[in-house]
A = this chain, B = another copy of it.
Amino acid sequence: MDLEQTLRVARGDAPADLALRNGSLINVYTGEIYVTDVIIADDEIIALGPGYQAREEIDLAKRYIAPGFINAHVHIESSMINPPQFARAVVPLGTTSVISDPHEIANVCGLAGIRYMLDVTEGLPLSVFVNASSCVPATHMSTSGAELDAAQLATLLDHPRVLGLAEMMNYPGLILGEPNVLAKMEAFKGRIVDGHSPGVSGAWLNAYVAGGVGSDHECTTAEEAIERLRLGMYLLIREATGARNLMDLLPAVTLENSRRCCFCTDDYHVTDVLSDGDIDHLLRQSIAQGLDPVTAIRMATLNPAEWFRLYDRGAVAPGKRADLVIFADLADIRPELVFSGGRLVAHNGEPVGDWPVPTVDQSPVRDTIRVDWDSLDKRAFHIPAQGSKARVIGAIESQIVTNHLIEEIPWENGLAVTDLERDILKMAVIERHLGTGNVGLGFIHGFGLKAGALATSVAHDHHNIVVVGVDDQSMYTAACAVGEMGGGFATANKVQVMATLPFPIAGLMSDQPAEAVVVAMDTLQKSAAALGSKLHDPFMTLSFMALEVIPTLKLTDQGLIDVEQFKPVKLFVE
């Protein structure tokens, strides 16, 4: 809306589009809650107070009115659903803005993947901001689909929804002054830079902050959180599917330091969104733990708006975008009405009205499984017996770290094979970006399969195809199933595919609605359990077994990696 019309409405010389009457306004600026009218025209809040005429009126009957919630850090791909479907899942829960790091799709599709995420979110009721993925690939000990240097990342700077640089996971690289990392910091000078510094402290943390990083979402203890707040970092309190830090960090939050605290979900499955909630869930938990509700709401609104310099939102005030959440109970926030840009977009948890989906060329993010299947058969999974003892990845329930085991491995016909009694299965990582034919092979303990195999194309951060199984035929069948779907999850037993969940977008995301994905996930988990899996979520665990930056022993398409030594190691030790 042009400024002249804004002024006319604000003066009262022209009618507004919408008047929300008698709302209990949560004023994040003053910390007050008081009953007033919120006056909206087009996508903007024009005025607060009585006496305005409007074409449409809603009596809020003293229900609370808060700014739309802002998720300070999320990898949308990790939800397993495409951004437009992601928006339909989270907006009805009150989340109207997210700061996303398209790190997963960037590892598969490079800049084209990031451009896709920007294009497919254009004009959604969810404002999707993007921080440029700073660490693609994670290392050179695996094969990714792309490598993004400073010059490539800098091409994103012109986009109005690109804010800065996403989590600088290569904290040793920054702290030690690696030229390629410094080039990225230089390219994004004057922009915000998000951090990722688990366990970093003292002089190294000083260096990380002096180097230009302004936030962290990897704190797991109140002590870590306080050290970061004192140095001026924003604390992004994370409640992710596999990393739940909220309860541990809430004790660090005080009224005095809370202006520097925000909420985020990082890697968060759509299953959790539908069962627990999104930022609304973090608010409910925090308030139940005794955090002052207005302080909590500030952490979900004004504070992230300030950190990310989103001056047009984060509060209910004239000139701000009309992103609003209406609810009845401050002690148990359940959004009843959600407005995005002045438009009612959700009612009692369900999307309402017209949700336009941008028409986007999906070709750069489809058909991303580039494996020469003709030259691959089950023999690709053969491990020639070259010793009696081998390194075995020790998977741990609901953790992404592993143990580094040394185990006796049985032989059959000159091949090293699985041992179901001792839960020693085979694992393979099939390079799927460049068609190199790389297949990393090894052994893994902890999945408990008694038959069949599981395969996934979601495998942080390179997202090659990862398979775990009891026999080569099952592994081959599962891998082929993932390939045929263009990516996804599969279970198989011998030549039989048992269950699948296709992720046709970059091999990372479904194009189906959240509810359908949740049903399919349930079927898949049951199928895995029927094969003997004893893990709570074997696909989640599997997706981190190939991540060579998380200790201790991992397998990539280039072979076994001893993460503590940060170098490749041989499979057989004697």
- A residues with CB within 8 A of B: 3-4, 6-12, 27, 29-32, 39, 44-49, 51-52, 174-177, 182, 185-186, 202-204, 206-207, 209-212, 226, 229-232, 254-257, 259-260, 294, 306, 309, 315, 317-320
Contacts and interface: CB of A to CB of B under 8 A. Distances in A.
A124 B306 CA distance: 30
B257 A30 contact: yes
20 contacts: A3-B185, A4-B182, A7-B174, A7-B175, A9-B210, A10-B206, A10-B211, A11-B175, A11-B203, A27-B230, A30-B254, A45-B210, A47-B206, A47-B210, A48-B231, A51-B202, A52-B203, A207-B318, A209-B319, A232-B318
Nearest to A202: B49
A478 B134 CA distance: 68
B210 A256 contact: no
A197 B233 CA distance: 35
5 tightest A-B CB contacts, nearest first: A31-B256, A232-B317, A10-B207, A47-B206, A210-B318
Contact of A318 (B7, B182, B209, B255): B209
Chain copies in complex: 2
A209 B207 CA distance: 40
Given A11-B204, A210-B10, A31 B318 contact: no
B206 A48 contact: yes
B207 A7 contact: yes
Contacts of A254: 30-31
A230 to B, nearest CB: 5
B186 A3 contact: yes
A206 B29 contact: no
Contacts of A185: 3
A256 B203 CA distance: 33
A177 B259 CA distance: 35
Nearest to A210: B318
Nearest to A309: B309
B317 A203 contact: no
Nearest to A255: B255
Contact of A230 (B10, B29, B232, B319): B29
Contacts of A39: 206
Nearest to A232: B317
